[in-house]
Amino acid sequence: MKTMVIQLRTGTMMNMDSNIAVKLAQAALDKGYAVRIFGYGEGITLIKKGQDPKRFPNVGNETKEMLPKGLEVVVCETCCKARGVARGEEIEGTKIGSLTNDLSRFVAEGDRMVTIAR
């Protein structure tokens, strides 16, 4: 099974970047590919528990719904600390990890990488 890696560097509710990441992930999962998302910088907000946007799609919920389908989501711990996002605040099933352990693994194991950034 081929793996798509999506590196997300922009935050939720800033623009449609995180929505694109989620829609791309959903379409890839539907086609039978494995999908990994790594959130870096503002991209860590993807896994914040309790998102409740009024006018944007709830990408937190959409991400959560994809986890049982095989989606793996890891975000940068240093970026979380910088923004005051602590362990336990992530959506269950996602992980606060690291560039060196997780993004490097995604890159090593992945077949294609798409970077969504500004």
Instruction: Tokens 């602590």: give the residue.
Output: 86
Q: Name the 3-class secondary structure at 97.
A: strand
Contact 88, 47 (CB under 8 A): no
86 Ramachandran zone, left/alpha/beta (phi>0; psi -120 to 50): beta
Give me the least distance between CB of 17 and another protein, in Å please.
7
In 45-110, alpha helices (H): 59-66, 77-82, 104-109
Q: For another protein, what does the binding mask look like between residues 56 and 75, x meaning CB under 8 A?
A: --------------------
Nearer to another protein, 33 or 95 (CB): 33
Interacting residues with another protein between 24 and 63 (CB under 8 A): 24, 26-28, 30-31, 33
- Per CB under 8 A, 113 contacts another protein: yes
Write out the residues near another protein by the rule CB under 8 A. Answer: 2, 4, 15-17, 20, 23-24, 26-28, 30-31, 33, 111-118
